[in-house]
Each structure stands twice: as structure tokens, then as C-alpha cells.
Structure 1
Amino acid sequence: MGSNAEQRTDTNRKRFKVPSGFDPSVHGEKFLRKIEDRFGAGFRIESFDPGAQELMVVRESAVAEFVDDGESIHVGLPDGTQESQGPKVAKQYEALKPGWRITDFRPYAKPGYATMRQMTEQEVRVRDAIATVLRVARTPWKVQVREDSDGGFALQLPESYSPAAHDQKLQEVAETSAGSPGWFIQIDPKSLRGQIIPGELPTFPTAVSAPLDRSVPGFTDASDTPWYKVPLGTALGVPGEPQGPEFSVDLKAAGHILMQGTPGSGKTVTINAFIWWAVNCGAKLAITDTPDKSVDFMWARDYCMDGGWGCETYPEMVATSQLVYDEGKRRAQVLRQKGVANWFEVADKDPSFAPLIYVIDEFTVLTTKKPEPKSLDEDHPKRVAIAMENSYKDLLSVNIQQIILEMRFAGIFVLLATQVGNTNTGITTAMKIGCGNRILMGSRPSDRQRANAFSDADSVPTVPPHITGAEGVSKGVGAGEFEGQHPTIFKGYYATAAQFKASLDAKPSLARTSHPRPTQEEISRALSEDDDLDEDDRAFGAASTNPFGDEGPRRGRPSTSAGMNAARELGLTGAAAANYAGKYDMREAGRDG
């Protein structure tokens, strides 16, 4: 396209009265600055009459030359124009050419010039917003903006741009001044070129189907660890990506997971995906849950290690936790013999050293003690039964804490799930520190819940409003804070319990339990220092009808004293009966004395 040059000389003279004592050589520069503030740049002193105290100033070639090449106009600048005069020059020239904006300003070139280009209102709005972010609002021509055919914008940024300092604010410009939420910005820090790209907000489908037909890395030895990145769902994508990457928890970076969330938030389905992966990889499995809630994991019962289903009674819960802890101690002894400090260093292809996954659900319900009815006598059956139940809870809590704090190095990995995890609900500070992976399920947690769930809640993103408000989409969504990974928003994999079970059942090579529930011998060993219980002892314990279990700490055979007969008449069995009988017999002995 050809150019069109137009030369114009505009002479503008102004006469001013000056105060007595005015000396152009001393006061002239300051006076010219005041004139520029009022009338614009380009004036010079033409003459001074000291008798009349009059100063004549003149501005020539205020618009010296317009060179129109069809897309832009190159404008000559008056001699002596300074960089600091740019905003005033821009205002002057842009007033002369409505719809055109200064896009380049070079007063020190020989000769000095400015470049103007027609800009749409949207281009001007985006340019000015970016210039404000980059702190060049007075000289916005340092930011180049052109609207693309797709509605986005091509950018050229000044050298003051810094990714760390400006990217977050520039993303806000993309979502507000340029477009709407979902638009995003991309910048090459080396070339300083960038784009604002139209897009939609990243979201989730109503369900993320668990990929049950995927290839799963089987466990060979502890040092061969492709299994340890456990996929649990899909991470929320970034603008421009229709779907985010797979979300995984790295058990090598941090061995234990603390998962919190209210009922219905999606804890169970996420735990199911965790269990499915672990069992598929050849891990040993143990589960402790309340009798009612354990139905959620019944599908995995046959894949627990022997005695690893600790869900039916409190003594069985204690026994399962003790079995896990004892296995950790066995491994610790083997590691010492091998001269290695960490299970991940073991290269032996020993199936007994497979990872051991211990899932504990509803921890707070399991370990919160019931208040004793102190208005009842100490030997009242109900008070005795509650005291025994609380003692089981103490044992269970102690075992779980020991496993978390002591056994990660032995290849034991805990997923501890609860509604609220703090010291008031039994989750000690040491346990929280021991769980380097933190997950909070639910799309609308309160600030208090977030502060309680994460070590640095401010660094963990919140679930965006367009997800929390979308029916079905928010189901199964959570946020996570992890060792060695960026905090993220994710949606857990979903499959029915029957689908998870069918997938495992189709693989005959997977290990199955010979007895999921702890045996009477395993229970007694967990609750007593005496391992030599005979068949009568086990038969007595098997007669229990207490829904929370009836095996308490006892030694040898059950008593056949008057106290035990009285306990049986009251319907007491096991530890509750033994406790009642002991107090009964002591009281009767005192009367006889």
C-alpha cells in the first residue's frame, strides 16, 4: 500500500507578561514547563522585552509531518520534545486524529517521531488494563495490542514484564477486560510476545468413570516402584484444556493420607479407587471401619490379608491394627538384618514385603469415648460395658498412631479418613504431621474446615463457583495438598462397588484371604500378654452377643466364681463379665471378712 506524506507548519505565538526581575537565562526553562502544562509541548522563547516585561514564545511545526502508509501514521515531533512529554503529546495528537492512538513514541530519534494506529475500543481497553498491571499506564504505547480474527488479542509487552510479578494479574485482565472467565493468557518471556485466547472455564463431567480396564503395574520388589503413584481421579484442567490430567497421590513422597469430608462428599468412592489400585498392584490390605459403615468396603473383604478385616467388633478392630503393627515390627527387624534404613531400598522379590495398605474409615467415630454413666455403680453392667468399650478405643487409637508415626519406613501406608480431623476428634498433631498427603472432599468447605485440613490452606485452590453451582458436577470433588506435588482440585474416579469387585474377581492371580476376620487367637494376643489360650477360652469368647465385641484383657481360663455366675445371669460375657465378676468377688470377700 502506498504512503501519503503531508507536510504542515503550524506557527503558534503567544505573548506573556512576566514579573519584574525575570531573566530568560535563569527562569526561562521553568516558565516553558508551565506553558507546556497549559498549552502543550514544543514552545520556545522567541523574544523578551525587559522594558515592557513581555515574553514572546513560539511553537513551530507542532504537527510537522504526517506520513500515512495506510495502516499507521508516522508523526514528526517538534524539536526538543522529551520522553516525559509523551502523555501530553499523545493527548494532543490523538485529539487531532479521533480513533487513532499513539502506538510508538521516539522523541530522541533523528528526527523524533511518533506512530499512530487506528484502534478499536476493545483494543484500547485491553491495552490500558495491561499497561496498568505493568505500571506503564502513563505510557501505554509500550504495550502493543491487536485484536485477532478469533476475538482474542496478540500482545507485545515491554521489558518491565515479569512472569512471577504479573502473570496472575494479567490472567485477570484476560477474564475481565478482554473477555470472560475461561479466557486465558500465554506469554513467551524471552520474546515478550503473547496472546489472550478465548476459552471456556475448565470443569468436570458429572462422573469420571474409573478406568477399570487399564494396565496396572504389579508389585515386584520395593525398589521397583511404578505402583506408588496411585491414580484417584482427574485434576481440574487449566483454561484451554478440555480435561485436566489424571490426579495421583505419590506414596513414595509421603506414605500416609489424611482424608476429611462430611457425609456425601465423596470420601467412600475415592477410597474405593485407592483400594482397587492397591490390590491390583499386589499390595496387602487391611481395613478398619464401624460395623454399619463397613458395608461400603464389603466388596474388598476377600482381598484383605488374613485377619485384615477389622470391622465387625471392637476387639477385632484392635486385633487388625495389632496385626498391621506387628507386621511393621517384623519388617523393621528384617531391614536391620539387611542393613537398609527404608523399605523402598529393598530389592528382594519377596512377596511378604509387598506394600501393606491400611484403610481406617470414620476414625473419630471409632475412637471417641462414650461418657460413663457415673450415677450407676462401678460394677453396674452398663457402666462396665461402656468402660470396656472405651478401653478398646484407647488401644485402637494408640495402635493407629504408632503405625502412622513409626511404620512408613517399613512399607506400611495408611489412609486415615474422618469427617473432621483435629485434636478434639482424636487426630493428634503428630498424626497430622505424619500424614503428608491431605485431602478435603466436598465442593463447599468452610474456611475453618480448610484451615483444619491443610497445613497451608492459602496455597490450596478452592473449588470454583461454576463447579460448586453445577448440579452433579460438584459430586465427588475435593482439594488436595501433597508432598512433592502442587495443590490441586480434583474429582474422584467413580465405579460401583460391584464393578470394583468384578474387576478384581476377574483376576485369579490376586491373593485372597483365608480368613478375613481376626481369629480368636489373634484377638486374644492383641488384648492380652498371654498367648496360651486354650479351646475353652476361645469357645467362651465365641459366645459373645455384644455388638462391639466381648473379648477383653484377661489371663487364662474364664472364672467360674460366684461373681462370674452372677455376671452370666445378667447376660454379660467376655471382658465385661470378667470385670464385673472381679469386683463382685472382691466385694463378697470383704463381707465374709
Structure 2
Amino acid sequence: MAIESHTLRLPATYNPAKHTRAVLNAAVQKKLGTDWQVETVDPEAGTKLSDGDRIAARQAELNPGWFLVKFNPHVGTAMLAKLNEAEFRCREAVAQAMRCKPWDVQVQQRPDGGFNLQLPGTYTPSQHDAKLQEVAEGIVGKFGWYIEVNPQTLVAQIIPSDPPTFPKMVKLPISKLGKGSMMKTPFGVKLPEVGQAGKFETVYVDWKASAWALLGGMPGAGKSVLLFALISDLLSNGSELVIIDDPEKSADFDDFKKFVRPGGWGCTGLRSSITALALVNEELNRRAEWMRERGFKNWLDIPDKDRFQPITIVVDEIEALLVTEKLPRSRSTTSAVCTGRWAASVRTARWSMQPVCLSGPCRGRVDGMTVRRAVAEDVIEIIELIQALADYEKEPDAVRNTPEKLHALLFAEHPAIFCHVVDAPPGSGHRIDGFALWFLNYSTWEGTHGIYLEDYFVRPEARGKGLGSQLLASLAAVAAEHGYARMEWVVLKWNQSAIDVYQHMGAVALDEWDTYRLTGEALTELAGRGQLPT
């Protein structure tokens, strides 16, 4: 429904005193019809383009809910129409984005909540598309809504839609194995553009652009599945295969063992890894000599019938193969002092355990969760767990440690303290579910180091999975690896559940020993009576 307006010129004989509103209405109705009536009389001049804002405001005041939607003073016409709140808001936002008058934009709400638009002739895609998309997503709609414009007709649509997402699973196209290219390996799909939901474009590793690729991700994210898909496609298209892996993890690749090139199974230890790579190097040297003899500088220039098979080398668990562990040094043992934080009035029991070799020097798995050495990104959560431990031990105000202090000591050039952590599962909201902080002490009788466990703690919601036992086992493995004589720690007398666990492990309570501590003024006073040794 719309209200139309016409501008009529007054005759030269017009006299305001003589020609009343009733007389003018009669003249207008005779010319235009009985539905018309005089709105305003301006004897001074006709309507100008610059009058649009004034007329729009006046008509909105006289006709609530009606808005000026067309205004062409050159031919003396204007039109009012009803707009709902959403249409009005959309029209104003589009007009502001295009820097035009609101009545230059026609808008109609769609049944799905979107809008049909008629844009002014000033529209250009390069200047206005991004701004109109901002209107669609940020003003009249939400993330995922999009706009389509036909530049020829200036007809546009703001279309409601969900944001583009990846499918839950991208299946390996088994039927296409062996029908692709050795130079391009599919590994997934590209996120569709806004408004193109479900239209997935395959993405590839381009081996011409780069001879290597790095695959990484969080635990449980599907790295192995993707890696197996890459290997399958490469093998099916003629590549040779070499696999290098930590022996403890190499079972993941057992299904590919029969497909590796001769000598290409580098998964039984460091010697086999080096041998597999050395054999590849020999083959590369042979190929290089062949190319030199025939004048080829790039192997891609070789005719297809003579071209070598590519060699795909998969290196998994590269950290375990190449990164040496930062081991405690003897001169760092000067800080190996029992400095727990329990109050002096609380009796503690001291426990000792002979080391047994369990699952390796620093890593292990429980239900897919990894025990590893702490890294810098873990420090904040370690401090949080230390505070949680203090709360559990009824000393919530005793923690003065900070992430800065802990980081400086854990990652010093010659660290005196060490920490193992257990990774939290994906989606838990945490990096780690537990920690064990320790340092070296020394036995004058045994003539060797031991491990002193200062603190360890597992989040309450992660208990019952053996994580605490695995943390202790990782320390025992370190002790066994380096020939340390024992592990020691203290436990509060009332913590019977922990005591039961320790006894089950074979740890022995040293009841004949008492733990003494010197702190505060007593420590300062004693220090005043001594001097640093030279």
C-alpha cells in the first residue's frame, strides 16, 4: 500500500484570500480524482530535490508508519509507503552504506526474514559489496547471512544463512586412488564461501611448489588418519615409501610395512632410521649422476616414460628421534633441599622407593593421554594446580609462587628443578590434567643422586584413570635411566588415600626419620652467625 504525491502549479490568478482550501481541493479532485486532496500550498516556489529531507520528515509526522519511498521533484511526483521496523532499519543501513538518500533504496522483507532490495544507480561492486555484506551480517542479520547483487538490474537480496562449516568427516575417495597425480595429493576440502554451504572444493599438497609438508595438531585431532590418507594416495600414484618412527609408536604404520622400498622401514631403532635415510641418499646420488650424464637440471624435465619414481619419506615422532632430553647436571644439586610448604606443627611421613624401569625415560600414555616434560606454555596451569593442591591441603594462602618465578627456574640454562605433566584430553578446556615437580638430591652413602618429588597433583575430575601413578612411574623411569638410587617425597599423615597408593607401589614409610625445617627469623638469625664458604 502506498500514498502518491503530485505537485501542481498554481495559476497566475491564484489569490490566497479568495481561493480557500476547499476551492483548491475541488480543483485538484476535478483534475486527479476524488481520492486526492491538497496537502500543502507553497505560493513562492516549486519543490526542489533538496527539499527531500524536509518533506520526508513532514510526511512521517503526518502519517505515522508511512515513509517517503520515492521522490522525483523534476516530474512533480513522490510516494509514501508503509514499512515495518525491520524494513525501515534495513533501508536506513543500506542507504548509509551507499551514501544515498533512504528513498533511493527500495526494500521489502522476505518470508524467510531476509530482504529484497532495489539499489540506486550509483551502485558499484568494488565500492559497495563489502559494505553491503557488513549490513547483512552485522546490522540486519547475523554471521552467515550474505548479499547477492545483480549489477545489471540493481536487484539485490539479503539472504539468511548459517555460516559455512566443514563437514564432520571428509572421506578418502577410494575410487580415485591411482587415478591422480604424483605432483598433487588431496588432503581435505576448502571452507566454502559465504552462501555456498555444501559446495566443497578439494585442496591439495602441491609437491612442485614444496618438496615437504609438516603435519601437526592436537591429540585426537585425526593427524594419523590424514597421514594414512596422504600415504595411500601417494603409493597408489606410483611413489616409493620410507617410514621413520620411534619404535614404541611404529605399530601405527604396520599396515604400510609391506609397501616400503627395500631398506625403507626405519622403525626399529636409531640405527634402522639412519640406514633407511642413507639408502635414500645413495639413490638420490645415483639419480643425480644419471641426470648430469643426460643434461637434465630438473627431474621434472625428464620425459614421463623415463622419470624416476618419487620417494615419500614419512618421519613421525620426530621429537623422540632428534631432540635430546635436558638432563639434570651435578652442579645443580646444590638446591636439593627439602622445602615443602606444610606448617611446622604438622607431622609428615617421609617415603622412599627404589627405582624400577617402567615405560621409558620421559614419555608414556594412559588412555591416549601423554605424560611429558613441561614446556613454557604449561607454566600458568602448573601454578593453578599448585594453588589447587594448597587448597586441598588446607593452606590456601600459603602459595607465593608465580608463573614468572616458576618459568625462570624451570627453563634456566642449568635448571635445578624439573616438571612432568600429563596432557588433558581435547575439549576439556585445559592443557594439562596433572603435574609432578621434582629435583635431584644426593645420597652420601650410595654416592649417587636420587629424585625428590616436591609436589604432584591431578585434577579431581581427571582422577581414577591412573594419571597420578603414571606421573610417579615417569619419575621412576628417569631414575632407572640415569642410575639414580631412589625416589623420595613426603605426605601428610591424614592423607590416607595417597598413603594406600604409595604402599601399593612398594614405597616404604621412613618412620624413624623426622623432617625439620628452618624458615623466617630463625633462618635469618642462624645465617647471621655464619659466612659464605670461600
TM-score, with structure 2 as normaliser: 0.51
C-alpha separation in 1, matches of 2:192 and 2:261:
38
Match of 1:336 among 285, 292, 297: 292
C-alpha separation in 1, matches of 2:85 and 2:127:
27
Aligned residue in 1 for 2:520: none
Match of 2:187 among 225, 232, 255: 232
Q: State the 1:65 CA deviation.
A: 8.4
Contact 1:6 1:65 in 2 (8 A): no
The yes-or-no answer on 1:209 pairing with 2:171 is yes
The yes-or-no answer on 1:319 pairing with 2:281 is no
Aligned residue in 2 for 1:262: 218
C-alpha separation in 1, matches of 2:222 and 2:32:
65
Residues 358 and 88 of structure 1: CA distance in aligned 2, closer, same or farther (over 3 Å): farther
The yes-or-no answer on 1:297 pairing with 2:261 is no
C-alpha separation in 1, matches of 2:41 and 2:255:
82
Residues 354 and 262 of structure 1: CA distance in aligned 2, closer, same or farther (over 3 Å): same
Aligned residue in 2 for 1:144: 106
The yes-or-no answer on 1:242 pairing with 2:192 is no
The yes-or-no answer on 1:129 pairing with 2:89 is no
Aligned residue in 2 for 1:573: none
Aligned residue in 2 for 1:251: 207
Q: State the 1:6 CA deviation.
A: 7.5
The yes-or-no answer on 1:193 pairing with 2:155 is yes
Residues 126 and 330 of structure 1: CA distance in aligned 2, closer, same or farther (over 3 Å): farther
Partner SS, residue 55 of structure 2:
helix
The amino acid of 1:337's aligned partner reads E
Match of 1:97 among 63, 75, 79: 63
C-alpha separation in 2, matches of 1:90 and 1:282:
73
Residues 87 and 326 of structure 1: CA distance in aligned 2, closer, same or farther (over 3 Å): farther
Q: State the 1:93 CA deviation.
A: 2.1
Aligned residue in 2 for 1:367: 322
Q: Deviations over 1:333-353 (max 9, x none)?
A: 3333333332222214136x0
Aligned residue in 2 for 1:355: 310
Q: State the 1:159 CA deviation.
A: 4.9
Contact 1:76 1:114 in 2 (8 A): no
The amino acid of 1:298's aligned partner reads D
Q: State the 1:197 CA deviation.
A: 1.7
C-alpha separation in 1, matches of 2:92 and 2:5:
30
Residues 159 and 309 of structure 1: CA distance in aligned 2, closer, same or farther (over 3 Å): farther
Contact 1:202 1:243 in 2 (8 A): no
Contact 2:190 2:203 in 1 (8 A): yes
The amino acid of 1:100's aligned partner reads W
The yes-or-no answer on 1:284 pairing with 2:240 is yes
Aligned residue in 1 for 2:355: none
Contact 2:3 2:81 in 1 (8 A): no
C-alpha separation in 2, matches of 1:241 and 1:90:
41
- Structure 2 residue runs of 5 or longer lacking an equivalent are 11-15, 17-23, 332-360, 362-371, 378-425, 429-480, 482-534
Once the two structures are superposed, the pairs formed by residues 109-120 of structure 1 within 5 Å of their partners are: 109=74, 111-120=75-84
Contact 2:250 2:267 in 1 (8 A): yes
Contact 2:178 2:236 in 1 (8 A): yes
The amino acid of 1:365's aligned partner reads A
Contact 2:136 2:147 in 1 (8 A): yes
Q: Deviations over 1:123-169 (max 9, x none)?
A: 11122222233334xx2223332223443322233455454554344
Q: Deviations over 1:426-475 (max 9, x none)?
A: xxxxxxxxxxxxxxxxxxxxxxxxxxxxxxxxxxxxxxxxxx999xxxxx
C-alpha separation in 1, matches of 2:2 and 2:107:
24
The amino acid of 1:253's aligned partner reads A
Partner SS, residue 217 of structure 1:
coil
Q: State the 1:80 CA deviation.
A: 5.2
Q: State the 1:190 CA deviation.
A: 4.5
The yes-or-no answer on 1:271 pairing with 2:215 is no
Partner SS, residue 178 of structure 1:
coil
Aligned residue in 2 for 1:540: none
C-alpha separation in 1, matches of 2:306 and 2:271:
31
Q: State the 1:106 CA deviation.
A: 3.0
C-alpha separation in 2, matches of 1:234 and 1:339:
40
Partner SS, residue 209 of structure 1:
coil
Contact 1:5 1:68 in 2 (8 A): no
C-alpha separation in 2, matches of 1:330 and 1:251:
21
Residues 343 and 180 of structure 1: CA distance in aligned 2, closer, same or farther (over 3 Å): same
- Structure 1 residue runs of 5 or longer lacking an equivalent are 11-45, 47-60, 219-225, 377-388, 390-418, 425-467, 471-546, 548-593
Contact 1:185 1:194 in 2 (8 A): yes
TM-score, with structure 1 as normaliser: 0.46
Contact 1:184 1:240 in 2 (8 A): no
Residues 117 and 211 of structure 1: CA distance in aligned 2, closer, same or farther (over 3 Å): same
Residues 296 and 2 of structure 1: CA distance in aligned 2, closer, same or farther (over 3 Å): closer
The amino acid of 2:253's aligned partner reads F
Residues 119 and 269 of structure 1: CA distance in aligned 2, closer, same or farther (over 3 Å): same
Residues 306 and 65 of structure 1: CA distance in aligned 2, closer, same or farther (over 3 Å): farther
Partner SS, residue 319 of structure 2:
helix
Q: State the 1:100 CA deviation.
A: 2.4
Q: State the 1:283 CA deviation.
A: 0.8
Contact 1:76 1:113 in 2 (8 A): no
Contact 2:98 2:128 in 1 (8 A): yes
The amino acid of 1:130's aligned partner reads V
Q: State the 1:9 CA deviation.
A: 9.5
Q: State the 1:284 CA deviation.
A: 1.0
Q: State the 1:191 CA deviation.
A: 4.0
Aligned residue in 1 for 2:139: 177
The amino acid of 1:266's aligned partner reads G
Contact 2:7 2:76 in 1 (8 A): no
C-alpha separation in 1, matches of 2:3 and 2:142:
39
C-alpha separation in 1, matches of 2:182 and 2:28:
72
C-alpha separation in 2, matches of 1:193 and 1:88:
28
Which deviates more from structure 2 when the two are superposed, residues 152-161 or residues 93-102?
152-161
Q: State the 1:370 CA deviation.
A: 2.8
Structure number with higher relative contact order (C-alpha < 8 Å, ≥ 6 residues apart): 1
Partner SS, residue 260 of structure 1:
coil
Give aligned pairs, total: 317
Contact 1:184 1:199 in 2 (8 A): yes
Q: State the 1:315 CA deviation.
A: 1.9
Aligned residue in 2 for 1:588: none
Q: State the 1:358 CA deviation.
A: 1.7
Amino-acid identity (%): 37
Q: State the 1:265 CA deviation.
A: 2.4
The amino acid of 1:125's aligned partner reads R
